């Protein structure tokens, strides 16, 4: 197994379920009491209209999602979603994901864990 494959397997275990299906880890910022994992959305439009022409138009501002701590360090996922221009309609297009628990900035799994402990 190559080093890249091992890192991907480790990321699958540590990151929220299915996030690597849509996002790539692009950078990790370690701090004294925190870790920021930077994720960029893959360049794939979900459910595109085959009769339309799409052009990549960069990223939205990153969103921060709090996840399970690792080695007593807070973990923040810095997630950047892509945007595209639909050249046929001249409108902005983006994918939608439910990465956080409703009304929170916590990953779904972390919110469920906290709810189980604190009710």
Residue entry with tokens 């409108």? 91
Domain boundaries in the chain? 3-118
Name the pLDDT band for 21 (thresholds 50, 70, 90).
very high
* pLDDT 10s digits, 32-81: 999 999 999 999 999 899 999 999 999 999 999 999 999 999 999 999 99
pTM over the 0.85 mark = yes
* pLDDT 10s digits, 93-110: 999 999 999 999 999 999
Instruction: Report the chain's mean pLDDT, rounded to a whole number.
Output: 93
């Amino acid at each position: 197994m190559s080093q890249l494959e091992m890192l991907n397997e480790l990321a699958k275990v540590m990151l929220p379920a299915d996030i690597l299906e849509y996002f790539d880890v692009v950078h990790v910022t370690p701090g004294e009491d925190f870790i920021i994992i930077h994720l960029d959305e893959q360049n794939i439009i979900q459910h595109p209209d085959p009769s339309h022409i799409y052009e990549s138009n960069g990223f939205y501002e990153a969103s921060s999602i709090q996840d399970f701590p690792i080695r007593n360090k807070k973990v923040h996922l810095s997630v950047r979603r892509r945007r595209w221009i639909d050249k046929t309609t001249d409108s902005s297009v983006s994918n939608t994901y439910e990465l956080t628990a409703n009304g929170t900035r916590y990953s779904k799994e972390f919110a469920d864990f906290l709810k189980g402990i604190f009710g």
